[in-house]
Structure 1
Amino acid sequence: MSAPLRLVLFDVDGTLVDSQGSIVLAMTSSFEALSLPVPDRSAVISIVGLSLPVAIARLAPTEAPAVQDRLVEGYKQAYHAHRLDQGAASSPLFPGARDIIETLHAVPEVLLGVATGKSQRGLDALLEVHGLESYFVTRQVADHHPSKPHPSMIETALADTGVSAADAVMIGDTSFDMEMARAASVAGVGVSWGYHDRSALRDASCVIDAFDQLPAALAGIWD
C-alpha cells in the first residue's frame, strides 16, 4: 500500500532565512522618510510574520490610515532596494535550511510549500536568489490572504495539493505560525532560532533547535 501524500509548509522570515537586518533597515527607512519616531528593534522583530499592513498598523497605531499606507509603500521600496543591492546576503539561509529542503524534496510522498507574510514579488525574488524555485509546489503569500494567524494560507495549500490536514505540518518561528496551524487543524513545529521566544510557541506540537531534528519530529507527528 502506497504511503499517503504529506505536506510540509515552511514559514520564510525567521525560519528559512535570517532577514531581520533587512526588515529593520527597511522599517527604519520608511519611518524616517515621514519624520516619524522609529520603532525599536524588538518591536519591529515582534511583528515579523504578519502581513505588512497589519504589521505597520501595530507599529504605528495612532497614525491615520493614509500615513500607514505611506509607511507600507516606503517599507516595500526600501526593502526592494536593499535586496537588489545585497542579493542573497540580504536574507541568508539559516544553517541546514537548504539541506533539509533537498532531503524532504527527495521523498516521493512529501510535498513542500511556503506560507509567508511576504508578498509574491518578495517571495519569488528570494527563492530565485537562493536557487530554490523548483522545490515548492504551493506558495501562499500575503497578497492573496488575510494575515496570519488566519488559517487561509494553510487551507489553500491543502486544497492545492489534495493533502488532508492530518498529513500536513507547518514549520515556523512565531506564535502567528503556530496559531495559524492550530486554526487549520494541522500540526505545528516551532523552530527556536527565529524571532519569537521559545515560550511563545506554546501551540506547537514540538520545537526543534536545528533543521537536522526535523525528520525525527515529522516522524513523531505522523507515526
Structure 2
Amino acid sequence: MSGGLKLVIFDVDGTLVDSQADILSAMSAAFETTGRPVPARAEILGIVGLSLDRAMERLAPDADSGTLAGMVEAYKDAYVAIRARVGAAQSSPLYPGALEVLENLHRSPDILLGVATGKSKRGLDKLIEAHGLERFFVTRQVADFHPSKPHPSMVLQAMADAGTGADATVMVGDTSFDMEMAQAAGVGALGVSWGYHPVDRLVAAHRVLDDFAALPGAVAEMWESRR
C-alpha cells in the first residue's frame, strides 16, 4: 500500500507492557475479599484483554451481580495500591524493544499509532505518563467507553479518529480477543508470542511475531498485501 495515512493499534497489557504481576496480585486480592479460592495463574492470564466486569464474570461465574461488583472494586483498589507503592513504570515495564519500535513507527509521517485496551482511561493515562509515551498515540480507546473486546467498537473508533480505512489499519495484540476484534473490524491482525495467551489461541491472526524488532516490517508487508 502506498499513499495515505496508515494506523497501527496496539493492545497494552501483554503487548506493550508486562503487567502480569500486578494483574495476578490484584485479582488475588479481589477473590480473597470474598473468601473464594483464587483462580490459577493460567486462568487469570486467560481473561486479560477483556473489560474487568466481563473478566470477573468469567472467573467467578457463580457469583451474583453484587458480589461481582464488589470484586471489581476490590481489584481496582488493589491495582491502584500496587501502582502507588511501586510505580507504574516499574510494576508494568515495557517489553524489550517496545520503545524502539514505537519511535521507529512514529518517525514515519504517514503512520499513526493508537491503543485499544481493556484498561480504564485512568489506568491507561497513568501508564502512558509513567513511561513517557504521550507523544506517540493519536487515539486511545479504553474500556470505559466501549463494549469489551472482541467487539470491534474500539478499532472502529480508532480508525474514525485517525481517518484511516480498514485496509490501512493493523491491530497488534497478544490475546485471542485482540485478534478476534481485528477480524470483526476487518483490519489486519498481528499477534505476538510474548504475551499472555498461548500462540495456538491466536487463530484469527494473519501472522504471529516472536520479536518486537520484526514488527515494522510485518506491518509494512501486511499493508502491501491488503492493497
Specify the TM-score bucket, using the shorter chain as the normaliser: over 0.9
**1:47-196 superposed matches below 5 A:** 47-87=47-87, 88-196=89-197
> What's 1:11 paired with?
11
SS of equivalent to 1:13? coil
> What's 1:24 paired with?
24
Unmatched runs of 5 consecutive residues or more in structure 2: none
Deviation for aligned residue 1:35: 1.4
Deviation for aligned residue 1:55: 0.1
Alignment length (residue pairs): 222
Deviation for aligned residue 1:102: 0.6
When normalised by structure 2's length, the TM-score is 0.96
- Quick one: distance in 2 between partners of 1:157 and 1:215? 19
Instruction: Kindly provide the amino acid, as one letter, of the partner of residue 150 in structure 1.
Output: H
Instruction: Kindly provide the amino acid, as one letter, of the partner of residue 219 in structure 1.
Output: A
Unmatched runs of 5 consecutive residues or more in structure 1: none
Instruction: Kindly provide the amino acid, as one letter, of the partner of residue 80 in structure 1.
Output: V
When normalised by structure 1's length, the TM-score is 0.98
Deviation for aligned residue 1:33: 1.7
Deviation for aligned residue 1:161: 1.1
SS of equivalent to 1:99? helix
Is the counterpart of residue 207 in structure 1 residue 208 in structure 2? yes
SS of equivalent to 1:36? coil
CA displacement, residues 175-214 of structure 1 (integer Å, 9 cap, x when unaligned): 0000000000001000000001111111111111111101
What CA RMSD, in Å, does the superposition of the two structures yield over aligned residues?
0.8
Deviation for aligned residue 1:7: 0.3
Instruction: Kindly provide the amino acid, as one letter, of the partner of residue 209 in structure 1.
Output: D
> What's 1:217 paired with?
218
CA displacement, residues 31-69 of structure 1 (integer Å, 9 cap, x when unaligned): 112212111111100000000000000000001000000
Percent of residue pairs bearing the same amino acid type:
58
Deviation for aligned residue 1:84: 1.0
- Structure 1's consecutive aligned runs of 4 or more residues displaced over 6 angstroms after TM superposition are none
